Chain A
Amino acid sequence: MEVRGLERLIGEHPFFAGVAPEYCDLIGGCARNVRFDKNAYLFREGEPADEFFLIRHGRVALEIMAPGRGPLRFLTVNAGEIAGVAWLIPPYRWIFDAKALELTRTLSIDARCLRQKAEENHDFGYEMMKRFTAMLVQRLHAAQLQMLDVYGAGP
C-alpha cells in the first residue's frame, strides 16, 4: 500500500492548489492527520484557536449556541475546504463551534508552528495570507448575502 506523505496530501488539497513544493514541506512540518467521528467537535467556542483543519473527507457544521434556541447552524464546510480562521489573529480563540456531521478526515495544522514559519519567511507568509484572504472575502460575501435574507417575502 502506498504511504502518502502529509506534504503530498497538502499539495493535493484544493485550498493549497498550485502552492510551491517547498511551501508544502513547510506546512507539512506543522501538520498531522486527525479523524473525527460523526457528532465529534473539531473545536468549541471559547477554546484556544491553536490549529485549523483542511477537510479531506466529510462535512463539518459551524454553529453558535443561542440561549433557549440551541445551536444555530450558519455554514457547512465540505471536503476541499478549511475549518477555522480564528488562529489568524489575536486573541486566537474560537468564536463558534465546529461539529463533524459525518465521519470526517482532516489534516490539522498547528497554528503556532505555521505562524512562526510565516514570521521567519515572509514570502511564505504572504502566500498564506493571499490564500486565506481570498477565502475570507468569499465567506464575507456569502455572509452578507445570507444577512440580506433575499429569499424573504420582501417589503
Chain B
Amino acid sequence: MVPVVARVRARRRETRDTWTLAMDAGGLAFQPGQFNMLYAFGIGEIPVSVSGDPAAPGLLMHTVRSVGAVSQAVTRLKPGDAIGLRGPYGTAWPLAEGGGSDIVVVAGGLGLAPLRPAIYRLLAERNRYGRVAVLYGTRSPADILFRREIERWRRRLDVEIEVTVDHADSLWHGHVGVVTKLIDRAAFDPDHTVAFVCGPEIMMRFTATALEAAGVAPERTYLSLERNMKCAVGQCGHCQFGPTLVCRDGAVMRYDRVRPLLMVREL
C-alpha cells in the first residue's frame, strides 16, 4: 500500500489532452491489462493502466488524459520529477487462453492504452495465435493515440489493423463511422476467436453486442471496466460493481459474467 518513488524519464504528447509518461520504477514487472496507482504528491492518486511493453519493463509507461486535478498534475510532470507509484494491480488480458485462436482487439479512444501491452505481446509471440485483428475507433484523426506506432503495425503483413473516426475532414482517407462497423469487415473465425475490448462503457456494450452478433461467444469476450478505484486492493469498496470489486476482480473481466451488471443502472 505504500507507494514507491518513481522518476519520470520522458514525457510525450499523444493528442491534444493526452500524454504518455515513461517512468523509472526499478524494473517493475506487470501483465498486459494491469494498472498502477499514480500519486501526484500533495494532490491525490489515480488508477492508470500500464501502456508499455511488458517485455521491456525498464521504463514503465502510462498514458494519461488530463481531465481532473490529479491527472492534470501527472501530465505536467517533467523528466526528473518524482511521482508515487504502487502496483501493479488487477487482472490481465487472458493472452494464454487465446493461444491457437484468432484474436480480435477492439479499442475505443483512450482504451487503446490498456490494450497496447497486449498488442505488443501478440505481435512478439505472433506464431502462437491465428489471425489477429486490431480495430480502433476514436473521435477524429487528431485524437488517434500512438499514431506512428499504428502506422508501423499496419505495415506488417501478419496483422489486420483498422482505424475509424467519428468525423473527419477531407484530408482523412480512412474509415469514418463507429468502431462496431469494422467488426463485420475483419477476418476471423468467430467459433475460434477471443476478443479483448476496452473503451468507454457505452462503446464496450455496443461492441460486445456486435461481437456476439458476429458469432463470438460472450465467454470468450473480455472487457476492461473502469470504476472509482481508491485502495486498489479490494478493501475500501469504492469500486464495487455488484458482487465484484473492479480493482480486485478486474479491471479485465469476462463479458458473460458482467453483462447482467452492465444493465443495472444504479451500478
Nearest chain A CB to B237 CB, angstrom units: 23
A75 within 8 A of B: yes
- B residues near A153, Cβ cutoff 8 Å: 17, 65, 67
Contact of A73 with B170 in the complex, beta carbons under 8 Å: yes
A72 to B166, CA, bound (A): 11
Minimum CB–CB distance from B30 to chain A (whole Å) comes to: 25
Q: Is the CB of A72 within 8 A of B167?
A: yes
With A75-B177, A76-B175, A76-B176 already in contact, the answer to whether A150 and B108 are too (CB < 8 A) is yes
Number of interface residues of B (CB under 8 A): 31
A73 to B110, CA, bound (A): 22
Given A142-B181, A151-B109, A151-B166, also A73-B200 (CB < 8 A):
no
Residue among B143, B172, B177, B181 having the largest count of chain A Cβ atoms under 10 Å = B177
Chain A interface helix/strand/loop/mixed: mixed
Closest beta carbon of chain A to B187's beta carbon, Å: 14
- Is B168 in the interface zone, CB < 8 Å from A? yes
> Which residues on A sit within 8 Å (CB–CB) of B178?
142, 145-146
Contacts of A146 in B (CB 8 A): 166-167, 177-178
* Whole-angstrom CA separation of A75 from B166 in the bound complex: 8
**B264 on interface, CB distance cutoff 8 Å:** no
Chain B residue nearest to A148 (CB atoms) is B202
Interface flag for A113 (CB, 8 Å):
no
> Are A142 and B180 in touch, CB under 8 angstroms?
yes
Asked if A71 is an interface residue, CB under 8 A from chain B, the answer is: yes
User: Does A128 interact with chain B (Cβ within 8 Å)?
Assistant: no
Identify which of A61, A71, A73, A154 gathers the most chain B CB atoms within 10 Å of its CB. A73
A101 at the interface (CB under 8 A from B): yes
Q: A61-B176, A73-B176, A142-B177 are in contact. Are A149 and B170 (CB under 8 A)?
A: no
Residues on A with C-beta less than 8 A from B170 are 61, 63, 70-71, 73
Residues of B within 8 A of A151 (CB): 108-110, 137-139, 143, 166, 199-200, 203
- Binary per-residue interface labels of chain A (48-76) against chain B in the complex, 1 for a CB within 8 Å, 0 otherwise: 00000000000001110000011111111
A/B interface sample: 6 pairs, CB < 8 A: A69-B169, A73-B169, A142-B180, A145-B203, A145-B206, A151-B109
